[in-house]
Amino acid sequence: MKTYLDCYPCFLRQALGASRLAGASDEQQYAILQQVLGILQGLDLTVTPPQIGNQVHQIIRDELSLADPYRSVKMKSTQEALDLYPRLQALIAEANDPLDCAFRLSIAGNIIDLAIIPEADLWATVERVLSQDYAVNDGDVLRQRLGEVSEVLFLADNAGETVFDRLLIETLDVPVTYVVKGGPVINDATLTDAQQAGLDQVARLVDNGSQAPGTILSDCSDEFRDMYNRAELIIAKGQGNYETLSEEGDRIFFLLQTKCELIARDIGVPVGSIILKRG
Amino acid sequence: MKTYLDCYPCFLRQALGASRLAGASDEQQYAILQQVLGILQGLDLTVTPPQIGNQVHQIIRDELSLADPYRSVKMKSTQEALDLYPRLQALIAEANDPLDCAFRLSIAGNIIDLAIIPEADLWATVERVLSQDYAVNDGDVLRQRLGEVSEVLFLADNAGETVFDRLLIETLDVPVTYVVKGGPVINDATLTDAQQAGLDQVARLVDNGSQAPGTILSDCSDEFRDMYNRAELIIAKGQGNYETLSEEGDRIFFLLQTKCELIARDIGVPVGSIILKRG
């Protein structure tokens, strides 16, 4: 997905919100905004929004001299999701259709997203997503493909959301490679974050070698790109992965909530929709 | 009121929304945003937001080669308000406290504001504002002052809102000078717009010699500044006048709805409040 002019104000808003969350002083916030304005000037609109987001969050890390400004936020999100884990597990166990329940919980976890919504009410989101109609539902094709493949490549999104993905992986009857970021960016999950959520107990845990949000293939390691190219079936979580991989063909199934007006418009659904969409 | 870092994304959002409303092509929207980014770089945060808004809307007019991009929008807003005029007049006639009803209607009209809310449901706003508690209410002091002075200087805001101000002026028992902008900016009322609303029938109609939003005194004509300096009592409508005149002393009474988070915070009330506040 390309970058729209409507993304300009949003990049500034995100830069300001993320700076404050990371404890930036007024002077640091001003310096960060000035640098982001520099990036937006003369911007090439054919790049995807996460490519700009990548630069924005590099600026924040550099200005604050912090390698992982949201480490404590991520730990808190993961712990809060872990606290719900037994209740979520019970929901799946008691469901008429455990796999659909697990799809929905994985999508519910996508509410955790510092870039858009600083604080999410997790349990309220779970209850909403369990009863909400899908705006796009390619679940039947995904079920069929899950029965045909020998492995799934699962592209993670945010810390905390990982716990909800873990429940889906535990429900699947096929081995999973769970792919996190190669370095900290916003609250995207890294190896450390995924380990805290227990993903190493249910999947082969790897990183993509990239510190960008979403999955910018050209920025990833050769090792990950090989894995990606060979994958029969890919589950990709969240808006960032949709923005960067929406043109990448029908091996990919996107699980997300639409939180941005432009992404919702690109998919052809309202903001606040739950999506299980084949690429 | 000074400009906050939070105003940066808002200026871009407003520039984009206003450009589109004025019919800008994608290329023109891009060119406008690039120039606004230039203004935001190295911005002096001690200036008031309307001083930046002034430059933003100058860029839009220049880029589109249109002296008054919102002329038709303003005519439509004024006509819609005029259509309600008999019903609004009846509300005041039947009110237990006609002056308070007229204050409230003037504040209700402040919902018309292209910079913030492109389309307002006027009658719904009237009903809400008639029953809503004031978040700040210096109405008793304003009533007292209205009984003591020989004239009121009334600083207008947007086209359409003018009709609601007309009802307040008709209810006052003191001569009014109604001050509009010296040239078109966003949907702020000019002499032409105020005449369409019939303000020339109920007040002495003058312009302030400035094409900036709000009232930037240094940008106004000598003639207006004299009038302003001599005024015993000033009624100032809307956020722009609050942003530019909030430090100008207790001769001024601000009538507005808080539509911006930062202005609301400056006043110490929630967004969506109705305000009758002495400076």
Q: Would you list the DSSP string of A216-241?
A: -GGGS-HHHHHHHHH-S-EEEEHHHH
Q: Which of B46, B64, B82 is the last residue of a domain?
A: B64
Domain that holds residue B258: 72-278
CA angle B109–B270–B246, rounded 5-degree value = 70
What average pLDDT does the segment A50-62 reach?
A: 95
Asked whether residue B13 falls in the same domain as residue B101, the answer is: no
pLDDT in tens, B136-150: 999 999 999 999 999
Report chain A residues whose CB lies below 8 A from the CB of B42: 34
- In this structure, are A195 and A116 located in the same domain? yes
Interface of A with B (CB under 8 A): 5-6, 8-10, 12-13, 16, 26, 29-30, 33-34, 37-38, 40-42, 45
Closest alpha carbon within chain B to A44? B30
Is residue B198 in some structural domain?
A: yes
Q: Which residues does B contribute to its contact with A (CB < 8 Å)? A: 5-6, 8-10, 12-13, 16, 26, 29-30, 33-34, 37-38, 40-42, 45
Bridge partners, B206 (sequence order): B179
The pLDDT-based confidence of A193 (bands split at 50, 70, 90) is very high
Is position A229 within any domain? yes
- Could you tell me the pLDDT band of residue B167, with boundaries at 50, 70 and 90? very high
CB contact under 8 A, A8 and B42: no
What angle (nearest 5°) sits at the alpha carbon of residue B120, between those of residues B156 and B220? Answer: 20
Q: Do B13 and A9 touch (CB under 8 A)?
A: yes
Distance (Å) from the alpha carbon of A44 to chain B's nearest alpha carbon = 11
Partner-chain contact A16 B9, CB within 8 Å: yes
| CB contact at 8 A, A196 and A78 | yes
- What ipTM score was computed for the predicted complex, to two decimals? 0.85
Judge if B56 and B90 occupy the same domain.
no
- Examine the pLDDT at B119 and tell me if it is beyond 70: no
Whether residue B181 sits in one domain with residue B135: yes
**Does a structural domain hold residue B207?**
yes
- B256 and B155 fall within a common domain: yes
How is residue B157 written in tokens? Answer: 């805001």
Instruction: Identify the band that residue A223 occupies on the pLDDT scale cut at 50, 70 and 90.
Output: very high
Residue B189 has pLDDT above 90, yes or no: yes
| Statement: residue B114 has pLDDT above 80 | no
DSSP string, B139-180: HHHHHHHHHH-S-EEEE--BTTHHHHHHHHHHH-SS-EEEEE
User: The domain spanning residue B249 has which CATH number?
Assistant: 3.40.50.10880
Domain annotation covers residue A113: yes
Compute the mean pLDDT over every residue in chain A, rounded to the nearest whole number.
95
Looking at residue B147, its pLDDT comes to 97
CB pairs under 8 A between A and B: 46
Q: Which of B64, B83, B102 is a domain's end point?
A: B64
The answer to whether residue A20 is domain-embedded is yes
Does A162 map to a domain?
yes
Residue A180 has pLDDT above 80, yes or no: yes
Predicted confidence at residue A119, as pLDDT, reads 58
Q: How many domains, in total, are found in chain B?
A: 2
Residues B55 and B97 in one domain: no
Same domain (yes/no): B37, B81:
no
Q: Would residue A12 count as lying in a domain?
A: yes
* Chain B residues within 8 A of A37 when measuring between CB atoms: 8, 37, 40-41
Q: Which residues of B touch A29 (CB under 8 A)?
A: 5
Highest mean pLDDT among A48-52, A71-75, A200-204: A200-204
Q: Are A268 and A98 in contact (CB under 8 A)?
A: no
Q: Are residues A161 and A241 in the same domain?
A: yes
Per-residue pLDDT, B145: 98
Same domain, A30 and A130: no
| CB within 8 Å: B34 and A12 | no
Domain boundary among A41, A64, A87: A64
Which residue of A8, A33, A34 is in closest CB contact with B33? A8
Residue B2 placed within a domain? no
Same-domain check for residues A272 and A139? yes
- For A20, A219, A241, B225, the CA distances from A51, given in Å and listed in that order, are 22, 10, 11, 51
Q: What is the pLDDT of residue B121?
A: 82
Is residue B220 within 8 A of residue B244, CB to CB? The reply is no
Residue A84 and residue A60 share a domain:
no
Average pLDDT of the residues of chain B: 95
Cβ separation A10–B9 shorter than 8 A: yes
Q: Which of B5, B9, B45 sits opposite A9 (nearest CB)?
A: B9
**pLDDT grade, residue B112 (50/70/90)?**
confident
Q: Is the pLDDT of residue B113 over 80?
A: no
Express as a percent the part of chain A with pLDDT over 90.
Answer: 92
A19 has a pLDDT exceeding 60:
yes
Average pLDDT over residues A215-225: 97
pLDDT above 70: percentage of residues in chain B: 97
What is the reported pLDDT for A200?
98
Give the integer Cα–Cα distance in Å for B191 and B199: 9
- Mean pLDDT confidence for B111-135: 83
As a whole-number percent, the residues of chain B with pLDDT over 90 amount to 92
Q: Examine the pLDDT at B116 and tell me if it is beyond 60.
A: no
* Cβ pair B10:A8 closer than 8 A: no
Examine the domain organization and report whether B33 and B93 are in the same domain: no
